[in-house]
Amino acid sequence: MSIVNVLNLKKQYGENLALDDVTLSINEGDIYGILGPNGSGKSTFINILSGLLSFDDGVCRIFNKDIKKYKTIIRREISVVTQEYSIYNDLKAIENVELFARLSGLKNNNIKNKVNEALERVNLTNNSNNYPNTFSGGMKRRLNIACAIVNNPKLLIMDEPTASLDPISREFIIKTIKEINLTGTTILYTSHYLDEVERICNKLTILNRGKILITDKTKKVIDKYKNRNVIIAYLNNVPNNFIRKIKEILILRDEYTITKYDMNLFELKIFCDNTGVILQRLIKATETYKIYIKDIDIRESSLEEVFFKLVK
């Protein structure tokens, strides 16, 4: 059963068409990914579904109700986890969750149990009487999620919930999202970490410049464009002139990314179909520029490759 139905949705800011004829449906029980580069319309779409933003044309129905007519009723069944921490530092963790429980309309005789369940779900029971300003980024995000799920929402919108978190915190959040979904909550999920989306989202839509590029089951999207491999190399002592001229040095026609993890360690990803040739060029270049290869791997194409292919 569909709980979100959007038909020919349009939103314009002056001359800029932020959403251009967007049509999609989200079924009950989905973990549905919305992807796109900056300026693609993701935030506009999420804000419309959250009831924070109006739209110019089209239809948006949530729980089979028109959002323009029944926004207040719909919002009682929706929770949102934003990129920013929506918590109060002058309230204890348990007081934050209690506040959101009351704001969501939970009855007094039910609040205590629901608050304790939410804190337990995110593994903050032992920190419930501490203040958020003593928490790490990962703990703040977990508290944020506890506040969002205390009312058992039918739809949970999560906008970049793992942004800026360390790998261990990210993994815990992903595990928690799966558990929340198993309790019956449908999840709309955005992230720049495409490996996360590939792991947890059963369906996805990729937006670019307000238009839908593709909508389908995640596996089908990957299989449809699966024709290249990915070389992943972890490199130490990488000089700036190598980074600036990497496309010329390796004679790359395909997409690549290079990410700096600390002062010395870089991750280089190259999406290519002529893997052997590129690998030989990379090894030769590392010898020339005296770069140390800490690790190297070759994998099948992934959602990340599909994304780059579609939005380039």
Domains of the chain are 2-224 (3.40.50.300), 229-311 (3.30.70.600)
> 149 phi and psi, to 5 degrees?
-105, 0
Q: Give me the tens of pLDDT residue by residue for the chain, a chain 312 residues long.
A: 899 999 999 999 998 999 999 999 999 999 999 999 999 999 999 999 999 999 999 999 999 999 999 999 999 999 999 988 999 999 999 999 999 999 999 888 899 999 999 999 999 999 999 999 999 999 999 999 999 999 999 999 999 999 989 989 999 999 999 999 999 999 999 998 999 999 999 999 999 999 999 999 999 998 887 767 889 999 999 999 998 899 999 998 877 888 887 778 999 988 888 889 999 999 999 999 999 999 999 988 788 878 887 887
The pLDDT value given to residue 51: 93
The pLDDT value given to residue 207: 97
Q: Helix (H) and strand (E) counts for the chain?
A: 12, 14
Distance CA 125, CA 81 (A): 20
Query: In residues, how long is the chain?
Result: 312
The pLDDT value given to residue 301: 76
The DSSP annotation for 255-303 comes to -EEEEE-SSSEEEEEEEES-HHHHHHHHHHHHHHTT-EEEEEEEEE--H
Structure tokens at 142: 């977990």
Q: Which residue has the tokens 């280089």?
A: 268
Q: Is the pTM of this model over 0.85?
A: no
- Rg for the chain, CA atoms, rounded: 22
Q: Rounded to 5 degrees, what angle do the CA atoms 282, 288, 289 make?
A: 90
* β-strand pairing of 211-217 with 65-66: unpaired
The pLDDT value given to residue 261: 77
In a 3-state reduction of DSSP, which class is residue 75? helix
The pLDDT value given to residue 135: 97
